Amino acid sequence: MTLSDDTPAARAARILARPVSLNGLTLPNRIVMAPMTRQFSPGGIPGADVASYYSRRAAAGVGLIVTEGTYVGHASAGESSRVPRFHGEEQLAGWAKVAEEVHAAGGRIVPQLWHIGMVRKPGRPPFAEAPAVGPSGLRVDGTEGTGEAMTQRDIDDVIGAFAEAAAAAERIGFDGVELHGAHGYLIDQFLWSGTNRRTDAYGGDPVARTRFAAEVVAAVREAVSPDFPVIFRYSQWKQEAYDARLAATPEELEAILTPLAAAGVDAFHASTRRYWLPEFEGSDLNLAGWTKKLTGKQVISVGSVGLDGDFIRAFAGEGAPVGSLDNLLDRLERDEFDLVAVGRALLQDPQWAEKVLAGRFDELAPYDAAALRTLS
CA distance 28 to 290: 25
How far apart CA 285 and CA 271 sit, in angstroms, is 14
The contacts of residue 5 (CB under 8 Å, 6+ apart) are 11, 14
Residues 6+ apart with CB under 8 A from 324: none
Helix (H) or strand (E) holding 327: helix 326-333
Q: Which 8-state DSSP code applies to residue 120?
A: P
Phi-psi group of 57: left, alpha or beta (phi > 0 → left; psi -120 to 50 → alpha; rest → beta):
alpha
Q: How far apart are CA 290 and CA 296, in angstroms?
A: 10
Q: Which DSSP letter does residue 24 get?
A: T
As a whole number of angstroms, the distance between CA 169 and CA 226 comes to 14
Q: Out of 185, 202, 275, 367, which one is annotated catalytic?
A: 185
54 is catalytic: no
Nearest to 74 by CA among 180, 156, 190: 156
Whether the Cβ atoms of residue 176 and residue 21 lie closer than 8 Å to each other: no
* β 230-238/177-183 pair status: parallel
3-state SS, 240-299, equals: CECCCCCCCCHHHHHHHHHHHHHHCCCEEEEECCCCCCCCCCCCCCCHHHHHHHHHCCEE
Crossing angle of helices 152-171 and 211-223, in 10° steps, is 40
* Catalytic residue set: 185
